Amino acid sequence: QWERLWFLILTSSFFLTLVWFYFWWEVHNDYDEINWFLYNRMGYWSDWSIPILVTTAAGFTYITMLLILALCHIAVGQQMNLHWLHKIGLVTTLITTMVTMSSIAQLWDDEWEMVFISLQATAPFLHIGALAAVTALSWLVAGQFARTEKATSQMLMFTAYLAVVVALYLVPLTISSPCIMEKKALGPKPAILGHRGAPMLAPENTLMSFQKAVEQKLYGVQADVVLSYDGVPFLMHDKTLRRTTNVEEVFPERAYEHSSMFNWTDLEKLNAGEWFLQNDPFWTAGSLSRADYLEAANQSVCKLEDMLEVIKDNTSLILNFQDLPAAHPYYSTYINITLETILASGIRQQAVMWLPDTERQLVRQVAPGFQQTSGLKLDAERLREKGIVKLNLRYTKVTNEDVR
């Protein structure tokens, strides 16, 4: 009975670590989000996805090897006889996985929806793998069936195995995957927007990043605008300059100041590219050509007007803003200055998606062609009342019904 209990724990641990490993493998496109979340909590940047993925893979491999050995014991009619060290390792892995999954469910619950979305692409292949595994286990089940003397146990074993096989053969009826759909049944290819340019090919919010986005023929780009202390609009996502510049080397005593409290002459002295090569946030720095590598290393903080000059001819733009400190000299007029910069660039007004809720009425008067965009999911009637024509939402917040 104890051996059966340990086998049940081992089997449960295998499926749990399998789900956990699949989760971390599939959310690789969002590793930057968990790193960003931990950066805000801990105050320094590190790629936490690598140790988490390596630890998860190691735990899954360990449990898988134990399960294979257990099945080999069962195949020759022996008990599992799990060593006490492996029992400790098994329980430790199980508890660690459960605690980590629970923590992620609380801190990053949106990402679990990504697992279900990913099944649209992976379900057909996972189904084939599951069928192969169950078929391979048939000889093991048959051996156990032959060795079992009680008819009730034989019937229970046969019924359970048959139920699993039937369920697997019925699974394709529930799969809706573009991998196995007729081409004519597929929807239109979605438009792609570059978040802060092309941040996998160049340092985010730099001129090179937006040049790469244009080269990739993206539909549009998103940028974060801040106003310098002397009134120059520039691009920066963080409130401080620590993560994406070398401000701690150039102005160590001002490293924690708000980025808008720097004059443009000071911002020009900062390097905004070396961090990308050192931290390699998307594991892509090693794939850059020699020329791109050197160009990325020499990037500086980018002016809004320089970015607009690059994208104005054939790329749409989503603009977001940082709130300025109350002590900033342009606290009450930064929207006006930004609007003047945009309109002076020559970019088509229809190509600009205005995201901030601040001074929307002023923006409509000065630039009536801007597409008013919201980051809030409201009902259609309220959106129309506010003049909102586009929404900027995380993909997990939008359902198929919303799109229709």
> What tens digit of pLDDT does each residue of 189-243 get?
888 999 999 999 999 999 999 999 999 999 999 999 999 999 999 999 999 999 9
Task: Identify whether 186 is part of a domain.
Answer: no
With pLDDT > 90 as the criterion, what percentage of the chain qualifies? 63
Specify whether 174 is located in the same domain as 217: no
Q: What is the pLDDT of residues 251-288, one digit of tens each?
A: 999 999 999 999 999 999 999 999 999 999 888 999 99
* Range 5-14 average pLDDT: 93
244 falls within a domain: yes
pLDDT of residue 296: 98
Q: Are residues 138 and 215 in the same domain?
A: no
96 and 52 fall within a common domain: yes
Domains in the chain: how many in total?
Answer: 2
Residue 315 counted as domain residue: yes
Smallest CA-to-CA distance from 215 within 292, 319, 299 is with 292
**Does residue 404 surpass a pLDDT of 70?**
no
For the cut 80, the answer to whether the pLDDT of residue 173 exceeds it is yes
Burial class (CB in 10 A: 0-12, 13-18, 19+), 342: buried
Q: Would you state the pLDDT for residue 35?
A: 83
Q: Has residue 270 been placed in a domain?
A: yes
Examine the pLDDT at 400 and tell me if it is beyond 80: no
Whether residues 210 and 255 share a domain: the answer is yes
Do 205 and 176 share a domain, yes or no?
Answer: no
Mean pLDDT of the chain: 91
In this structure, are 246 and 304 located in the same domain?
Answer: yes
Whether 136 and 64 map to the same domain: the answer is: yes
Determine the Cα–Cα distance for residues 85 and 159; give it in Å rounded to an integer: 35
Checking if the pLDDT of 377 tops 90, the result is: no
User: What is the structure's pLDDT at 120?
Assistant: 86
111 and 51 both lie in a single domain? yes
Domain annotation covers residue 185:
no
74 is a domain residue: yes
Is residue 230 located within the same domain as residue 209?
Answer: yes
Please indicate, yes or no, if residue 187 is contained in any of the structural domains: no
Domain end point (choices 153, 180, 207): 180
Residue 317 vs residues 16, 62, 73, 120, 262: alpha-carbon distances, Å: 43, 48, 62, 30, 25
The verdict on 147 and 233 lying in the same domain is no
| The pair of three-digit structure tokens given for residue 205, joined into one six-digit string | 């919010």
188 part of a folded domain: no
Instruction: Please give the share of the chain, as a percent, with pLDDT higher than 70.
Output: 99
CA distance 371 to 389: 6
Same domain, 197 and 109: no
Q: For position 357, what pLDDT does the model report?
A: 87
Determine the pLDDT at residue 218. 94
Structural domain of 275: 193-403
Output 368 or 114, whichever has higher pLDDT: 368
Instruction: Output the six-digit token pair for 180.
Output: 């196995």
Confidence band for 131, pLDDT divided at 50, 70 and 90:
very high
> Which of 156, 180, 204 corresponds to the end of one domain?
180
Quick one: 278 and 383 in the same domain? yes
- The CATH number that applies at residue 220 is 3.20.20.190
Nearest in space to 78 (alpha carbons), one of 147, 157, 151, 161: 147
Domain boundary among 180, 206, 228: 180
23-60: per-residue pLDDT in tens?
998 888 888 878 887 787 777 778 888 888 899 999 99
